[in-house]
Amino acid sequence: MSKTTTKKPDARHANGADGAAPVISLRNIHKAYGNLEVIKGVDVTAHRGDVIALIGSSGSGKSTLLRCANLLEIPQQGDIVFNDEPVAWTGSGHTRKPADMAQVRRIRTNLSMVFQQFNLWAHLTVLQNVIEAPLTVLGRDRGEMEEIGHELLTKVGIGDKADDYPSQLSGGQQQRAAIARALAMEPDAMLFDEPTSALDPELEAEVVRVIKALAKEGRTMIIVTHDMKLARDVAGHLIFLHQGLIEEQGQPNEVFDNPKSKRLQQFLSATAAE
């Protein structure tokens, strides 16, 4: 996505420009493993069409926060609200867990996650990987989903790979297949956890092009990334995490061009030197 002087929407607002409730809201999230506190009270709000990038050093808590959003990790404190529906909890602290697993399944169905390591099923073709969840989870018609699956694979640039198996694809093609699989669920929001970090630069560029195209479509996305160019070009709101807290946030051009905290200045200097 090319740079523009038009200001993108700031994802911190409690309600969107149209007054609609956020697609997803994380409020005062705390997450610890034993005595190690990884997230120390973080708020993130994404409205429909928002693209939020989470950046920070390894161990800053960004991937853990993303996994909390999808309830793959359970925070010991804080609220998660999806489409104005708060997650119901039982227990407290390290014994806390969702009170309603049907609610968890419903939220995950509408909140697709793309992982760093693709996680494709090796025994299924690429097309079968894309349509399996809509068939089994949503009960969709196979013929309809095969047509949609082909359209999605063409959309991400691998329409000719439908009958191949994951082992026959490059890393970049596998990641694009994973994105098509996520899109097949027609989610309200998409979560990306370092979607390009396992790829070499040439294959990384293939995936970045797809993510940029999704942003232009107005997809709601939260992206954990090490790619500062991707964060600048795609995100409407940037969050820099440091030691489990939001150190700085704002529109990407403002944050990148005028970092206020010394820690962010150090981080950007180090990433620029890589």
Residue 219's pLDDT is what?
A: 95
Q: What is the pTM of this model?
A: 0.90
CA distance to 28, 165, 182, 258, 266, per residue, from 175 (Å): 32, 13, 11, 33, 31
Counting beta carbons within 10 angstroms of the beta carbon of residue 157, is it exposed (0 to 12), middle (13 to 18) or buried (19 or more)? Answer: middle
User: What confidence score (pLDDT) does residue 271 get?
Assistant: 87
Residue 48 has a pLDDT of 96
Enclosing H/E stretch for 204: helix 201-217
Q: Which of 118, 215, 208, 218 is nearest to 169 (CA)?
A: 118
Nearest to 24 by CA among 85, 98, 88: 85
- Give all domains of the chain, ordered by start, each with its CATH number: 9-110+192-274 (3.40.50.300), 121-186 (no CATH)
Would you write out the chain's pLDDT as a tens digit for each of its 274 residues? 333 333 344 444 445 555 678 999 999 999 999 999 999 999 999 999 999 999 999 999 999 999 999 999 999 999 999 999 999 999 999 999 999 999 999 999 999 999 988 889 999 999 999 999 999 999 999 999 999 999 999 999 999 999 999 999 999 999 999 999 999 999 999 999 999 888 888 889 999 999 999 999 999 999 999 999 999 999 999 999 999 999 999 999 999 999 999 999 999 999 876 6
What is the model's pLDDT at position 273?
Answer: 65
Residue 197's pLDDT is what?
87
